[in-house]
Amino acid sequence: MNVGETRRTPWIVGVSGASGTPYAAAVLRALLEAGQAVDLVVSRASRLTLLDETGISFRDAHWQDDLRQWLSLGADGKPDAFEVDVTGVRYWSAGDLAAGPSSGSYPAKGMLIVPASTACVAGVALGLSKDLLQRAASVTLKEGRPLVVVVRETPLHGQTLRHLVTLDDAGATVLPASPAFYAGATHIQHLVDFVAGRTLDAVGVPHRLYRRWEGELGGGSRPL
């Protein structure tokens, strides 16, 4: 690196196979809007979920076009709801265990797994590193960087709960995808944006995704 050159230090966003691809899209849009660099890892299972929930086939060779199409969708599935510049994104294939995020020496601010399936939770908690998503999460923990796990499953059985406690003990933030209604949601996108906003709150990234509680009853009756 040349003297005076600014090192790119991204947030790693991992998308696992749980239902809830609109949560990932909202987080990605907000990170890019905040001027943050993003490294994206999309698991094999999440491609099936994305295809089922949006009709989009996410392809390694055409990831920029597919990502742009995905991020343009609203939570209701309507196209062109958002216009997003994806030039701040670097994509890594989930099968590439030699990718940058697989190493602790690779510069990163932290990692957000959104949504996180119970299989992904188990893999990270047990340190399996079966793909790049799990390996990057393990690296994030061992390097002491922020890791947010947006688990999307219900009900949760005992083994998953124990895995989540393991992640909490390791320093991760366990953030269930639980929308709130006090912010005056009137549309499905508002509920999705609340979860995305809380995800970014956990790592200190500024956003305007939801109206914050100000201690006044009825103050959240009108969303942003």
* Residue 189 in tokens: 């996108």
Domain 11-201 = CATH 3.40.50.1950: yes
Domains of the chain, residue spans: 11-201
pTM of the shown model? 0.94
23 is in an annotated binding site: no
The whole-number pLDDT of residue 164 equals 98
The whole-number pLDDT of residue 6 equals 74
17 is in an annotated binding site: yes
Mean pLDDT by 10 residues, the chain (224 residues): 70 98 98 98 98 97 98 96 96 98 98 98 98 98 98 97 98 97 91 98 97 79 50
29 is in an annotated binding site: no
182 is in an annotated binding site: yes
The whole-number pLDDT of residue 183 equals 82
Do 32 and 84 meet the contact criterion of CB atoms below 8 Å apart?
Answer: yes
What's the one-letter identity of residue 113? Answer: I
The whole-number pLDDT of residue 111 equals 99
* Residue 140 in tokens: 């994030």
Distances, alpha carbon 70 to alpha carbons 47, 121, 170, in Å: 12, 24, 33
59 is in an annotated binding site: no
Question: Residues 6 or more apart from 68 whose CB is under 8 A from it?
Answer: 84, 86
